[in-house]
Amino acid sequence: MIELLVQLMGYSGMVLILLTLVLARKHFVKSQIVSLIGGLLLTSNAYATSAYPFMILNFIWTLISIYNLLKARREKNVKAKS
């Protein structure tokens, strides 16, 4: 049962990361939210399967998504005050 959950997390994360690439051009914030979720799922999957280099890569991907979301929020707040 746990193995199936780990596999589903991996495949779901993969689909979400690929969806990020499709969304990125027109819906930047949405793409970063999808990227964040996908990165978290793939990081969890890599940890559960002891794929540590892949885990580190996806953890960094997740941090980049968080940074981009915070940056977009900050830019939106600056525009709103102008």
**Cα–Cα nearest to 42, from 21, 75, 12, 73:** 12
Digit-by-digit pLDDT tens for the chain (82 residues) are 889 998 999 999 889 888 888 788 788 888 899 889 999 999 999 999 999 999 999 999 899 999 999 999 998 888 887 6
pTM of the model: 0.77
pLDDT at 79: 81
